[in-house]
Amino acid sequence: MQSLQNLARIASVDRELFETRIHYMLDLCSQGNLDGIVDHFSEDISYQMIGNWSMFPYAGPVRGKAAVKHAFAGVFTHFQSQGSTVHDIVVDGDKVAVRRTTILRNLGTGRADGIAIVDFLRFRDGLVTELTEVLDSLAMARLEEG
């Protein structure tokens, strides 16, 4: 049986790993490095965006690394991330919640603004196996305005 001190140390290492991975993946988003992001996903990843994404074909839940990469590629075709500010990261075992603001630029209209996003992730063996993103739908709609 693990001592409380050892369990606390293990939790601390996991938290540091998760935080490092999240910041690194957000940096990869800002660079438009889709392959680098997907390298941090498990083969059986489950992904879903929640918000008013009815105008995009990838709004529903998708499963599998190839399908998630395709969904992300669709987002990257319409929007460019210009950086994220992480406000909070909460770690509970293998589950992580991230509250952030990301500056997104609509590549069609040229408009850019801060979008409030909350990510819910689950890690397994150091890779993201579940990702749900909740986005500010009204702010996203404003980016569509010319």
Q: What is the pLDDT of residues 35-89, one digit of tens each?
A: 999 999 999 999 998 876 555 555 678 999 999 999 899 889 989 999 999 999 9
Q: Is 126 helix (H, G, I), strand (E, B) or coil?
A: coil
pLDDT in tens, 100-143: 999 999 999 999 999 999 999 999 988 999 999 998 888 888 88
What is the domain-level CATH number for residue 97?
Answer: 3.10.450.50
Looking at beta carbons, which pairs linking 77-80 to residues 24 or more positions away fall under 8 Å? 77/107, 78/106, 78/107, 78/108, 79/104, 79/105, 79/106, 79/107, 79/143, 80/32, 80/104, 80/105, 80/107
Domain count, the chain: 1
- Average pLDDT score over residue span 8-33: 83
Residue 113 is part of which domain span? 4-144
- pTM, two decimals, is 0.86
> What's CA 44's distance to the chain center, in Å?
16
Structure tokens at 8: 């606390």
